[in-house]
Structure 1
């Protein structure tokens, strides 16, 4: 488990943009608040909570009269502000009052139902003329309430408090915009990168020559894509040089190997002649494997192949070598043809390598069986020591050998795996009953999924 994962670009942009927006908005609000405070003319404002308390106290009695009920909130308010006074009036002209109304507001009472909002500051202590007017919904209908001499608040506090109330919804709105808009914007801007990533996933040893597209990608990412394409170009050139070297070396080896085999055949029969012939055949097989790797890269001659006929030819070609090495070679095929689509030469080499591998490692005794299944499978089974379970996946790696002292270059099984993969199948090493090794090769039957041809 990784403790530190690469930060998401979307997440980083969202948080950074939110932090920037918050900083700018906070600074702007601070400047506005400072200007309002500097422009303050002094005085006190009345806390408007008193209007709500008075509104809840206005109730219609059972006999139909309107009255101000002494609720717990109203008693607490009067205890906190003993000089509280108020007048409430509705559109029908009904009036309710409490406390001593200042003379300065008596003329305003008659028109109170025409006023919906006002805050009046008093600049001199004890601020008895500070008042507020609000329209409030009560259980008895809508009333306009004029109240004064309640709890006082400074204008500075009111400005700061209101600015914070205004700041919070704005920040929430900006956060929602950032959380929704940024992923959409980045997703559209980076859609080309997703396409490039999908193309990069398709690049493989069998699909050389592929280059990443530079269309629809941000200009900032362009240099990276160009650098990757340059690296792919250099890798392709190096691979081609490597393959040409192997091909040339294998071709150069074929002639002296053929001459050596001819001269060995002229020697008198004996144990030394047999051993030298086996060693020479291994060298010839290695050269052929190197050439097969070159042919496989350039193979596009896929056609219908009957696995039964193919295995009969392999068995016929390798029967003399198997018998000379102490084995009994048997073939088990169904009565009907088992047809696949593929390269006959490459598939022949794959089965040949599996049989030669059995001849080499099965202990020079027992039977080697080639079994063809109706499902497109081919099993090559021997009665040797078998393959340890922990080694069964490793033996298909190039140049891997179970024992370092083993003869051979370790390319045969790797070549088998590459051939089968190019045909859309798979090969695996299994345990044979009661002992020995079983190599199972499975190919899609004709009419199934199309095989993967090298160079496509």
Structure 2
């Protein structure tokens, strides 16, 4: 069963086609009936029933010759049609007649064996010469009978014929139309549905993809071509934006490095410490922007990565920074190591960003746990204030910060999400046992070994 949406073009086409066809058929039938009624090619028709009644009234007498008996139905028809007459011929050439046969038809009995069917109409108002010829089987055998009895008006005949012929035809056509038109329209819209399915697949990671106009109707092709041109403009705009960000990040690296060098040469003071921290954040921001560009353009072939070994490396690298920030950094790993297919450098960036995020937001106290105890999963948890429920999805958006006073750039977690997505994994944030934040990265598992 076809279901239509509101304001459906398919529904409008089907109903319009159905109404048009129904209207056309009705008009055609009415015009045909009007033509038959108004035709000037004859008057009234003779009711063919006269031949059946005559056949039943014709018998064979004791001598085997044709004879006519006054049956009740013959008498009844003669009362309704006083000028009733008929001529009958058997297949043996015997001829018998009844009533006032017109002089013109007196000799028709000799040729009736050559005629099996005829309707004769008379243009005169008297309809004197109107007659009907039929080949019928009666009591006396097969007979060809020509006669005149009751008259039928053309209007009546046309109405009867219309009912017998046109109504069944219209019914069949209506049934065919009801089922055929929706099917034809659905077939016609199949290519448009394919284009819609292609459009559903287009996102930020499928740049360069275009809609196919193969088989698309000519009326819809301009729309598909316009969408493809719009997609091309969006791709070009995105590329310009990405090139600008990449160039800006590259340009920032040198002056920031010079700035850090000059600040480090200043005498020790609180001002020097704060400015150095600000310069470090600018440097981290430029590096994160570059990382985003590298991830976007990366075509690295994935290789097996030992998650436990990865965690050990990152914890060793960040332990001094965590301790300087007031934390203890602890690693909890299972004896059963697990491996995933991935880019080791990118996954190391994921874990580094999560640990740095904990260092920055966990209140500068407590323990930061890095866990690799579950196969194919890494977890980083802290003992800070945690992440509010309403922010647990938004914190992965670029440049989003839970509090405006946060000193981060808001790109680290977005970078984590993008890298994990490219590894066909997932990253979620929940609550640790102490009420702090707990980030869990799950990646497709490849092998597990001791």
Aligned equivalents of 2:147 and 2:334: distance in 1?
105
SS at structure 1 position matched to 2:428 = strand
Residue number in structure 2 paired with 1:361: 361
**Residue 7 of structure 1: which of 9, 21, 31 is its match?**
9
Could you state the TM-score of these two structures normalised by the residue count of structure 2? Answer: 0.73
The corresponding residue for 2:57 is none
Q: SS state of the match for residue 206, structure 1?
A: helix
1:427 aligns to what SS in structure 2? strand
CA offset at residue 152 of structure 1? 7.1
Whether the aligned pair in 1 keeps the contact of 2:361 and 2:384 (CA below 8 Å) is yes
In the alignment of these two chains, the number of paired residues is 424
Which residue of the partner structure matches residue 428 of structure 1? Answer: 428
Superposed CA deviations along residues 292-312 of structure 1, whole A, max 9, x for unmatched, are 011101212233222222222
Give the whole-Å Cα distance in 1 for the aligned partners of 2:5 and 2:404.
40
Deviation string 1:74-129 (CA, Å, 9 cap, x unpaired) is 9xxx9xx99999xxxxxxxxxxxxxxx9999xxx9xxxxxx9999899999999x9
- The equivalences for 1:58-207 within 5 A come to 155-168=154-167, 169-170=169-170, 172-173=172-173, 175-177=175-177, 179-180=179-180, 183-184=183-184, 187=187, 190-207=189-206
Task: Provide the residue aligned with 1:66 in structure 2.
Answer: none
State the alpha-carbon separation in 2 of the partners of residues 102 and 406 from structure 1: 121
* Cα deviation 1:250-281 (Å, max 9, x = unaligned): 11212222233334444455554443343332
Q: 2:333 aligns to what?
A: 333
> Structure 2: any 5+ residue segments left out of the alignment?
54-72, 85-98, 103-107, 109-114, 137-143
Deviations 1:118-176 (A, max 9, x none): 9899999999x99999999xxxxxxx9x99999976x3144135325533333532551
The alignment partner of 2:277 has SS state of: helix
Provide, for residues 27-57 of structure 1, a one-character-per-residue CA deviation record: whole Å limited to 9, x for no partner: 3322322221122678767999x99xx9xxx
Q: Distance in 2 between matches of 1:151 and 1:323?
A: 119
Structure with bigger gyration radius: 2
Secondary structure of the equivalent of 1:326?
Answer: coil
What CA distance in whole angstroms lies between the structure 2 residues aligned with 1:134 and 1:381? 104
Tell me the residue number matched to 1:441: 441
Asked if 2 retains the 8 angstrom alpha-carbon contact of 1:261 and 1:277, the reply is yes
Please say if residues 358 and 368 of structure 1, whose CA atoms lie closer than 8 Å, have aligned partners that are also in contact.
Answer: yes
The change in CA–CA distance for 1:343 and 1:149 in structure 2 (over 3 A counts) is: same
CA deviation map 1:318-337 (0-9, x unaligned): 22222222211111122233
Contact 1:362 1:383 in 2 (8 A): yes
Aligned-partner Cα distance in 2 for 1:26–1:326: 91
Whole-angstrom distance in 1 between the partners of 2:358 and 2:299 = 29
Using a 3 Å threshold, how does the CA distance of structure 1 residues 417 and 43 change in structure 2: closer, same or farther? same
Query: 1:38 and 1:338, CA in 2 relative to 1: closer, same or farther beyond 3 A?
Result: same
Q: What residue in structure 2 maps to residue 141 of structure 1?
A: none
Change (3 A) 1:118 1:309: same
In 2: Cα distance, 1:398 partner to 1:132 partner: 96
Whole-Å separation in 2 of the counterparts to 1:256 and 1:370: 35
The change in CA–CA distance for 1:402 and 1:152 in structure 2 (over 3 A counts) is: same
User: Which whole-Å CA distance do the structure 1 matches of 2:134 and 2:430 have between them?
Assistant: 89
Q: Distance in 2 between matches of 1:151 and 1:333?
A: 109
Pick closer, same or farther for the CA change 1:315–1:152 going to 2, 3 Å: same
Partner of 2:293: 294
**Which blocks of at least 5 consecutive residues in structure 1 are unaligned?**
55-73, 86-100, 109-114, 137-143, 449-456
1:131, 1:408 → 2: CA distance? 109
- Which residue in 2 is equivalent to 1:251? 250
Quick check: 2:427–2:442 contact (8 Å CA) kept in 1? yes
> 1:443 Cα deviation (Å)?
0.9
Question: Matched residue of 1:338: which SS?
Answer: strand
Task: String of CA shifts for 1:318-366, please: whole Å, max 9, x gaps.
Answer: 2222222221111112223321111222212222111121122212222
8 A Cα contact 1:425 1:441, kept in partner: yes
